[in-house]
Structure 1
Amino acid sequence: MGTLLIRNARNIITMDGERRRFPGGSLYAVGQEIVAIGHDLPYETADTVIDAQGKIVYPGLINTHHHLYQNLTRNIPFVQKTELFDWLVTLYEIWRHLRPEDIYASAVVGLGELLKSGCTTAADHFYCFPNGVSGEMIDEEIRAASELGIRFFPTRGSMSLGRSKGGLPPDEVCQSEEVILRDSRRLIETYHDPGRFAMVRVGVAPCSPFSITADLLRESAGLARSYGVRMHTHLAETKDEDRFCLEKLGMRPLDFMEKNGWVGDDVWYAHGIYFDDREIGHLRAHRCGVAHCPTSNMKMGSGVMPLVKMLEAGVKVGLGVDGSASNDGSNLLLEVRVAHLLHNLAHGTTAIGAEDCLAIATRGSAKVLGWEDDIGSLEVGKAADLFLIDARQLAFAGALHDDAALPVLTGLSQTVDMTIVGGRVVVKDGRLVGADEEKAAIAAQAASMRLINEAALRTKIDYGRMRSERKYPNL
């Protein structure tokens, strides 16, 4: 096992239960585990020694919701002025052409962006499996994560309710329940590691109430619990979803989940914008978690999650960037800033502070993923997952008054100097250690262009050239 010594930091922001800070402190890790943190540590050498003078050390951020494959469909003009349902219907026509090599390329880009923004653990929700393509798409994401060195929590998504059965997605990106459950078992048995400091954990994740059947929900819950893995899905994201559930199912989305066994300490939902007071009480009682995705919710015009009410009720809340097609980025540190600003606007400037938002992205996210024993804070016995920011750069001048809030409120480039996962340096001087960034960008752009061209041939729409209506001619 290798050893790591970070010494003489400007500050170490632990985000532990007491939110302790260690100005001028040091940290020592053996293998993945932190064995000492604080001042005057009895260690002078290590396999990796980092002089952190002038730098601030933070616990690694944890992303609780993403769709990595969507990195190939960012900034498409044709879908820039649409809400969720229309946006999905359009993009399904592009995603139906995905191949395994595309998934690898998109994962390198998305996970790389996350690492460069201080994220050390990422959950992903992959649910789009085109007809005639190998089911082993998530394997390509896991391969990319292993090469980059990020802690990874892929969830095996699924859609079984195609348009021919009254659902939203085209039948061409849906699968039978038999295929879904069989591949979910394969992924869990092949990759899931429930052990301490695991680098890969696997979850089960039917997509949403408007793309799955009640049978699939129940069968997925049974499968997940038989293996002891966690469960994830979209819920309460839009008013359209509410209407769909009321019209097609005769109940609200959370009631549909409760009826089919999808509540409990092993369940987390993405978005949660339209939970009412009664439902927030149910979330707390069932100990469900929620992934907050503020940038995506703002871009899609979906609404504002009742974050303050949830926190006051004791609901577990983490942070997520959501799919890059609804965010156009995978920058989790920027997501912390957006969450802070959004809820200042929505709830007033005294409702939630910058450090509170950092806590949501660290300790809060770890609780949502059921991983709080290993990650989420810098403490003895936890993983050496962290990032460093040089406080001497121009963007922080005049701002060095609160080191915990510093990267949330200032330094808007949001690229960290160094990221470490399990004691291993994976970003150094702002660059990925495990990938050629330029080569990865070229490969992903080529895959994106192929997808767009395939869709244009099939639908007679040029997605790359189509522009949204020019509403203000004088601009």
Structure 2
Amino acid sequence: MAAQRIVIENCAIATVDADDTEYASGHVVVADNRIESVGPGKAPEGLEDVLRRVDGTGHLVTPGLVNTHHHFYQWITRGLAQDSSLFNWLVALYPVWARIDEPMVHAAARGSLAMMVRGGVTTAFDHHYIFPQGAGDLLGAEIRAAREMGVRFTAARGSMDRGQSDGGLPPDFAVEATEAALIATEEAIDTYHDASSGSMLQIAAAPCSPFSVSTDLLREAAVLARRKRVRLHTHGSETVEEEKFCDELFGMGPTDYFESTGWLGEDVWMAHCVHMNDSDIAAFARTKTGVAHCPSSNARLAAGIARVPDMLAAGIPVGLGVDGTASNESGELHTELRNALLINRLGDRREHALNARQALRLGTYGGAQVLGRAGEIGSLEAGKLADLVLWKLDGIGHSSIADPVAALVFGAAAPVTLSLINGRPVVEAGRLTTADEDAIARGAREQARRLARIADGG
């Protein structure tokens, strides 16, 4: 059967390939779910089976954004503990989160996904680690939401087994038994993980953090993940309190502790990594361990400024993350391009910390590297999956900025005229095509109120 084509022309293009190739006016041809050609000027003559031609005048085409860290369930607990550091924030919210159930998680996942996809995310990621007894199929609820919306998705089956009685941070009723967590992780991999080319769904193993997970669970989860050939994810070096916790409990800092448990390697990425010394950065670079940089969440919880420029200079794979929307209430990744650039310029390197193109690379190719999918997504190149975004830059918010990449990164959040995932339109003229945004908003509001009533004992 002949390929069905979508042709986009007359647009600026930032390919984010190895050479950072850009075209002031060029074309992208999509054939089924793959990019067939990218180049300057008009599309080739004589193309057959063209379903649609898009005039991209006034627009920039980029690869779709890739989110590398999130907690969807937090969509229904936004706006709480507004002035807390991480540990105090967690102590305040763990008792609420421990009362979530399947309908709540499904509604929260739909809200989280809708906000990201509307803003140019084509590959979503979520780290779910709270599984109250009798709450239903929480991981399945997220996966169902992603399938309904047509999003490429990596779901991390998280876990916690170190409650307060064992010196951990979460309350005992919010954690699982070690063996039960490992069994459930393996079941999730066996049920859902698709390692095939072009996969729309992959699973990662993801014990939550050093202060909520036993050493046994960390070690055994790494063994399990490598036996099953899936990636590993956790939180690392997020706060000075975490560093103190690891030193008191394990006699070493977070990076050394992770290395002692098998948690450094090119199949691993960690969220935040704010408090990294030169030795930590060298260890990540040596092992090719990746980082999910979450600038807005780091600022919201006063965690600090991650040394992203130093990480990049050392060759560490770095992507961007929204993080949970209880610590980044906007829930958007495209605004993280701007925030990553601005916040990192407050660090030691100042105006030389990051530029616009480096920020765009973090949100696209860098994220693809971190998720282990750089061969398929993250740049606009012939043969890669057709995950791309057409950003409108001729409106009032951007039209006077001559450099389209600078307009996207430095400017206001740009409207999305068209977003393709796997060659399929998921956003048209700023609205979702695969879901009812108003219904998603209503459902999330209802479940947020329901959770608040339950948490208050109502």
TM over 0.5: yes
Partner of 2:437: 437
Is contact 1:331-1:414 (8 Å) kept?
no
Partner of 1:426: 426
Question: Mapping of 1:239-250 within 5 angstroms?
Answer: 239-250=240-251
Q: Which amino acid aligns with 1:322?
A: D
Partner of 1:218: 219
Structure 1 unaligned residues grouped into runs of 5+: 459-475
Distance 1:305 1:149 in 2: 33
Shift in Å, 1:7: 2.8
Shift in Å, 1:285: 0.5
Is contact 1:5-1:26 (8 Å) kept?
no
Question: Mapping of 1:301-380 within 5 angstroms?
Answer: 301-346=302-347, 347-380=349-382
Shift in Å, 1:457: 2.1
Question: Mapping of 1:57-136 within 5 angstroms?
Answer: 57-76=61-80, 79-134=81-136, 136=137
Q: Which amino acid aligns with 1:335?
A: E
Partner of 2:389: 387
Equivalent position SS for 2:142: helix
Q: Which amino acid aligns with 1:41?
A: P
Q: Which amino acid aligns with 2:99?
A: H
Shift in Å, 1:415: 3.7
1:41 partnered with 2:70: no
Partner of 2:29: 28
Partner of 1:160: 161
Instruction: Give CA deviations for 1:192-211 in whole Å, capped at 9, x if unaligned.
Output: 11111110010000000000
Is contact 1:67-1:323 (8 Å) kept?
yes
Is contact 2:340-2:359 (8 Å) kept?
yes
Shift in Å, 1:181: 1.3
Instruction: Give CA deviations for 1:269-320 in whole Å, capped at 9, x if unaligned.
Output: 0000111101100000111000000000001000000111111111111110
Shift in Å, 1:222: 0.9
Equivalent position SS for 1:25: strand
More moved, 19-28 vs 334-343: 19-28
Equivalent position SS for 1:143: helix
Distance 1:6 1:366 in 2: 24
Shift in Å, 1:3: 2.4
Is contact 1:6-1:52 (8 Å) kept?
no
Shift in Å, 1:118: 0.7
Partner of 1:17: 18
Q: Which amino acid aligns with 2:7?
A: I
Equivalent position SS for 2:345: helix
Shift in Å, 1:246: 0.8
Is contact 1:334-1:414 (8 Å) kept?
no
Distance 1:246 1:235 in 2: 14
Q: Which amino acid aligns with 1:352?
A: L
1:452 partnered with 2:452: yes
Distance 1:235 1:195 in 2: 29
Equivalent position SS for 2:202: coil
Is contact 2:63-2:379 (8 Å) kept?
yes
Q: Which amino acid aligns with 1:210?
A: F
In the superposition, the TM-score normalised over structure 1's length comes to 0.93
Instruction: Give CA deviations for 1:218-254 in whole Å, capped at 9, x if unaligned.
Output: 1101110011000000000001101111111211111
Question: Mapping of 1:265-304 within 5 angstroms?
Answer: 265-304=266-305
Is contact 1:5-1:48 (8 Å) kept?
yes
More moved, 389-398 vs 371-380: 389-398
Is contact 2:392-2:415 (8 Å) kept?
no
More moved, 284-293 vs 22-31: 22-31
Is contact 1:160-1:212 (8 Å) kept?
yes
Q: Which of 52, 55, 60 is 2:56 aligned to?
A: 52
Distance 2:78 2:292 in 1: 21
Count of paired positions:
453
Closer, same or farther: CA 340–21 of 1 in aligned 2, 3 Å: same
Equivalent position SS for 1:22: strand
In the superposition, the TM-score normalised over structure 2's length comes to 0.96
Distance 2:425 2:52 in 1: 9
Partner of 1:236: 237
Equivalent position SS for 1:179: helix
Equivalent position SS for 1:364: helix
Is contact 2:393-2:414 (8 Å) kept?
no
CA RMSD of aligned residues (A): 1.3
Closer, same or farther: CA 67–444 of 1 in aligned 2, 3 Å: same
Instruction: Give CA deviations for 1:400-430 in whole Å, capped at 9, x if unaligned.
Output: x1112211111x2444222110110001111
Shift in Å, 1:45: 4.7
Equivalent position SS for 1:349: helix
Shift in Å, 1:145: 0.6
Distance 2:168 2:353 in 1: 39
Is contact 1:9-1:57 (8 Å) kept?
no
Runs (4+) of structure 1 exceeding 3 A deviation are: none
Shift in Å, 1:371: 0.5
Shift in Å, 1:12: 1.5
Is contact 2:129-2:159 (8 Å) kept?
yes
Distance 1:296 1:310 in 2: 19
Is contact 1:386-1:421 (8 Å) kept?
yes
Distance 2:52 2:147 in 1: 21
Is contact 1:33-1:381 (8 Å) kept?
yes
Shift in Å, 1:23: 2.8
Q: Which amino acid aligns with 1:132?
A: G
Structure 2 unaligned residues grouped into runs of 5+: none
Partner of 1:470: none
